Chains A and B, each alone.
Chain A
């Protein structure tokens, strides 16, 4: 059974403007799934729907097979949640915030909370408002994981953190996953974190799932071809080739993404168009994000030659 399952989720904020226009995917046991997309792609909306904080207009979401709206208490007890814009009560002490959460979760693990507290080295007597951004996020993480959730949902958890704090956050998440078999659903704009952590990547665009793939497959079966544009070599012709997913024009050259490995892409280009001047490479997630989601259609070809 899937830990979380989204089925054909639709959600519009304004009538006729769909943020989510039929999104389906699942998170399996022990799996780490990264939710990617540009700002406004609907990642946070989707996460809020999973948390029962918002409702889908049509479609269904199940977490542990339960409905996050109808079985809100049960679902919340088994989920840990941290978001970038989460606000902890500023005038409470760290110890009071921890105590507050402790009371909410029957499965709270005092020993784990103590270990994390010691590891983060945050003064329990400090008021939340005196903490740095990184420390406040660590308190939020402690509160989100000390009940050993079966699913950890992180909405841009690393936003605004320095690289050391980010790494520490990831380490804590991995350790929790190891100890408790927790599944993780997270959204992030840090592609190096995603490359490091994710088993599977779900890329949202235009309210739909553009890509839902194991990260390793994405890395091994996609490639980027850089080609010099010419009268015979146009965006349209490339888009007509087998395996070509997207083409961007960048001043005089064309960037084409193929769902083929680099050697295969080279062969397709060579045999179809007889292109000699090109480079095909495997593609890191960051480039794939930019090529697939970074603006559509033909870009201005102006600028210095």
Chain B
């Protein structure tokens, strides 16, 4: 799995890492038992502080999403269903809010936004079938 971080983005880097990992589980790109890169490797790969990676992994472990087995590495511990759907929805809510504010400012009515949503959803489905 590839992680991509944006320094100075809306979220601190440790949260960007956490979200990308839980999103990958929810979307089926990571599943229980998959191995994650070591904290050191990930810090070097992303060119970020090792303590930032540690913080992301510690939080995910506390939430039961990943598990560190001594001497063996860090693994996904949660099944897709276990990634708290209420929590995912809360996060999406923020994105939806931003989208609707943008639409409002641009004078695009809600009905058009709904239409856009289903059009884009179809596009994404088509892309996924193509892969």
Interface residues of A (CB under 8 A from B): 30-32, 167, 170-171, 174-175, 177-178, 191-193, 195-199, 215-216, 219-220, 282, 284-286
Contacts and interface: CB of A to CB of B under 8 A. Distances in A.
B44 A178 contact: yes
B40 A178 contact: yes
B10 interface: yes
Contacts, number: 58
Interface residues of B, number: 20
A219 B6 CA distance: 13
Interface string B1-23: 00001011111111100000000
Contact of A195 (B13, B15, B40): B13
B47 interface: yes
B51 interface: yes
B35 interface: no
Given A191-B8, A216-B14, A284-B8, A178 B43 contact: yes
Nearest to A198: B49
B47 A171 contact: yes
Interface in B33-48: 40, 43-44, 47-48
Contact of A174 (B8, B9, B50, B55): B50
A31 B51 CA distance: 7
B12 A216 contact: yes
B10 A195 contact: no
Contacts of A197: 47-49
Contacts of B68: none
Nearest to A195: B7
A48 to B, nearest CB: 25
Contacts of A32: 49, 51
Contacts of A191: 8
A171 B51 contact: no
A170 B46 CA distance: 11
